[in-house]
């Protein structure tokens, strides 16, 4: 049996009223933003997709505290004639929290579908950008951008396309600025997984290699990576042998 791991848990405040997104097999889905606090006091403003079936019993309003259990999902959307890979927190359960828990945790198991992009900041901090293909039921996959720091980044830089890894971290929003061809500066937001622990999944019988990030900055906003490229291909299942990776564009 294949291993499908994509577990996301968020606790935060509904920032806006749900807006209709789409209908699938007769079920309506809505989108809203959930503001999730970090220990540093910074808020991650995360897009959420939830079905009418989950929303109706709660009748949620802006300012309401919600607990989400679900998955990080990606989908393709054409905006201004160009393909975009968008990230959302897909709710499988939605309820009012009754106790205090870590407000933002995610665990993913998948395969690298692009070579890791390793670099250092002007202050010497190591960073690696990863694109993880995570299998979903019914023969689909989600492509989830991840960012690793310090020793995790150094470890990830030695990996190759197709390598299987497990990631534990948090889903975050990261504002950044992009300079347009005419010189204008626009504000944008990237959604990605900030890696707290990274484990390479070896072949059966081999011991896994684990790295725990112990020097992740309180805010991962000191860099801004533009993910520009061509059209995004259709999402297909990844079973370890990864072909041409998707090209990621700005959200």
pLDDT digits (tens, 9 = 90+) for 204-216: 544 444 444 443 3
Q: What are phi and psi of 52, to 5 degrees?
A: -60, -30
Per the structure, the complete domain to which residue 193 belongs is given by 106-212
Range 41-57 average pLDDT: 96
Q: What is the pLDDT of residue 77?
A: 81
Average pLDDT (80-99) is 90
Kindly state whether residues 31 and 91 are assigned to the same domain.
Answer: yes
- Asked if residue 116 and residue 91 are part of one domain, the reply reads no
For residues 227 and 190, is the Cβ–Cβ distance under 8 A? yes
Residue 222 is predicted with a pLDDT of 29
Torsion angle defined by CA atoms of residues 192, 195, 198 and 203, in that order, rounded to the nearest 10 degrees: -10
Instruction: Please return the burial class of 137, using the count of CB atoms within 10 Å of its CB with bins 0-12, 13-18 and 19+.
Output: exposed
Q: What is the CATH number of the domain that holds 78?
A: 2.40.50.140
Pairing of strands 126-136, 209-212: unpaired
Q: Report yes or no on 245 lying in a domain.
A: no
175: tokens are 């504002």
pLDDT in tens, 182-195: 889 999 899 999 99
With 60 as the cut, is the pLDDT of residue 163 above it? yes
Q: Is the pLDDT of residue 27 over 70?
A: yes
Per the domain annotation, does 251 fall within a domain? no
Residue 124, Cβ density class (10 Å: 0-12 exposed, 13-18 middle, ≥19 buried): exposed
Query: Average of pLDDT values for 85-114?
Result: 94
Same domain, 114 and 190: yes
Instruction: Give the pLDDT mean for 220-248.
Output: 32
Q: SS3 of 64, please?
A: coil
CA distances from 216 to 37, 94, 148, 222, 245 (A): 16, 29, 8, 12, 27
Question: How many separate domains does the chain show?
Answer: 2
Q: Band of the pLDDT at 2, cuts 50, 70, 90?
A: low
Residue with tokens 């749900």: 18
Q: How confident is the model at residue 235 (pLDDT cuts 50, 70, 90)?
A: very low
Q: Are residues 168 and 129 part of one domain? A: yes
User: Which among 168, 216, 172 has a CA at the least distance from the CA of 192?
Assistant: 172
Residue 3: pLDDT band (50, 70, 90) is low
Residue that the structure tokens 């709710």 belong to: 91
Token pair recorded at residue 98: 């009754």
What pLDDT score does 181 carry?
A: 87
Residue 88 lies in a domain: yes
94 and 171 in a single domain? The answer is no
State the average pLDDT over residues 105-112.
96
What does each C-alpha distance from 148 to 42, 47, 83, 99 come to in angstroms? 19, 22, 26, 30
Decide if 175 is inside a domain. Answer: yes
Residues 116 and 20 both lie in one domain: no
Question: Mean pLDDT of all residues in the chain?
Answer: 82
Weakest mean pLDDT among 10-24, 57-71, 156-170, 218-232: 218-232
Phi/psi region, residue 168 (left: phi>0; alpha: psi -120 to 50; beta: rest), is beta
pLDDT at position 203, please? 59
């Amino acid at each position: 049996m294949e291993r499908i791991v994509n577990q996301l848990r968020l606790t935060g405040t509904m920032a806006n009223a749900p807006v209709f997104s789409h209908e699938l097999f007769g079920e309506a889905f809505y989108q809203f933003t959930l503001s999730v606090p970090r220990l540093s006091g910074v808020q991650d403003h995360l897009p959420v997709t939830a079905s009418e079936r989950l929303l109706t019993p709660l009748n949620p309003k802006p300012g309401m505290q919600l607990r989400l259990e679900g998955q990080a999902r990606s989908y393709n959307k054409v905006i201004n004639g160009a393909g975009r890979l968008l990230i959302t927190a897909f709710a499988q359960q939605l309820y009012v929290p009754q106790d205090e828990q870590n407000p933002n945790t995610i665990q993913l198991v998948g395969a690298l579908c692009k070579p890791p992009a390793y670099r250092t900041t002007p202050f010497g901090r190591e960073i690696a950008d990863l694109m993880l293909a995570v299998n979903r039921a019914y023969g689909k996959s989600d492509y989830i951008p991840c960012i690793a720091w310090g020793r995790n980044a150094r470890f990830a830089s030695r990996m190759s396309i197709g390598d299987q890894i497990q990631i534990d971290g948090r889903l975050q929003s990261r504002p950044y600025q992009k300079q347009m061809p005419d010189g204008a500066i626009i504000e944008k937001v990237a959604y990605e997984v900030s890696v707290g622990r990274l484990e390479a999944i070896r072949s059966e019988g081999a011991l896994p290699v684990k790295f725990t990030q112990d020097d992740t900055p309180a805010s991962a906003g000191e860099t801004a990576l533009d993910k520009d490229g061509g059209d995004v291909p259709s999402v297909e299942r990844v079973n370890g042998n990864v072909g041409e990776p998707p090209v990621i564009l700005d959200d």
